[in-house]
Amino acid sequence: MRTGTSIAAGLVLGFALDRALGDPRRGHPVAGFGSAAMTVEKVSYRDSRAAGVLHEVLLVGTVLGLGVGAQRGVVAVRGGQVLLTAVATWTVLGGTTLAETGREMADLLEAGDLAGARELLPSLCGRDPSLLDADGLARAALESIAENTSDATVAPLFWGAVAGVPGLLGYRAVNTLDAMIGYRNDRYNRFGWAAARTDDVANLIPARVAGAITTLLAPVVGGRPADAWRAWRRDASAHPSPNAGVAESTMAGALGVTLGGRTEYRHGVELRPTLGDGPTPRVPDLRRAVRLSEAVQSTTVLAAAVVAFTRSRRIRSQPPTRS
């Protein structure tokens, strides 16, 4: 089986594994990488951008090197490329767990179990749940689902289609480091600068792919593509993140709700710009967001498989260059 076809098949198989099994219950490789990164940080940390750049290059470079070595090592093994890509895809995707957590949050809010909902929220985002009522919890969960549909599924599938196993693993390393140290607080404002900027670059195209697919699929939840497109054009650039703004604004437009506003984090309060038009989201809107997220994820894996297959054929069809 040719490489492009193998990668395409591996992406689809890995997506199916994530759908069937969710995240590994124990020994998750991403958690292992996070633990390794924390150990390295004890040695590499300095309150400077240069130290942060070195930290980022060392950890991401190591993961990329492992990905390149593994991919080269299985090329000659029949079915090896498919299996390796599938396992790597399953490892880095988080879409099924994201959707399950969103539905669980909706269940808790519908049952009036605010204590349970507040306990669950940290698995979705870094807001301070103690300060949120039911509507605030629904909004926080919905915004997290919008952003993480892009980060946890669209972006890894994009990089898998473009660069195979190194793309899958390298992206997840970049995104994990951003989640760990990419904060503007006293400890990480300088040291985490490289992690945050690298993640911004890595998600620049995938976030817009996610926004485009969300816009097209707005009718899945009773929305209109025109509304999602208008919210994207009008509101996304006001968001402090160049990528989360696209994901959240298109989701808001597709659902017909308003996201953003006062946002409580443990490190302080941010006054976010409003995204979209309509009322603040409630529990039924959270369920609709989960449905739209799953539709975006399914569409993305099919598109990624097509891109991987087509890209490989295009490369093979090019005539060899003369020296």
DSSP states of 158-204: HHHHHHHHHHHHHHHHHHHHHHHH---STTTTTTTHHHHHHHHHHTH
Question: What's the pLDDT at 90?
Answer: 95
The predicted-structure confidence for 7-27, as pLDDT tens digits, reads as follows 999 999 999 999 998 887 777
Q: Does residue 322 carry a pLDDT above 60?
A: no
Q: Would 323 be classed as within a structural domain?
A: no
Q: Would 322 be classed as within a structural domain?
A: no
The predicted-structure confidence for 188-197, as pLDDT tens digits, reads as follows 999 999 999 9
Q: Which of 28-37, 52-61, 71-80, 188-197 has the lowest mean pLDDT?
A: 71-80
Count of domains forming the chain: 1
Task: Report how far residue 252's alpha carbon sits from residue 245's, in angstroms, rounded to the nearest whole number.
Answer: 10
Look up the domain containing 173 and give its range: 3-317
Q: Which residue has the higher pLDDT, 79 or 44?
A: 44
Q: Does residue 323 carry a pLDDT above 50?
A: no
Q: Would 186 be classed as within a structural domain?
A: yes
Q: Would 110 be classed as within a structural domain?
A: yes
Phi-psi label, residue 71: left if phi above 0, alpha if psi -120 to 50, beta otherwise: alpha
Residue 258 contacts residue 279 (beta carbons within 8 Å):
yes
Q: Would 169 be classed as within a structural domain?
A: yes
Over the range 271-289, which residues count as b (16 or more CB within 10 Å of their CB) and which as e? ebeebbeeebbbbebbbbb
Q: Would 105 be classed as within a structural domain?
A: yes
Count of C-beta atoms within a 10 Å radius of residue 30: 18
The predicted-structure confidence for 277-316, as pLDDT tens digits, reads as follows 999 999 999 999 999 999 999 999 999 999 999 876 665 5
Confidence tier at 183 by pLDDT (50, 70, 90): confident
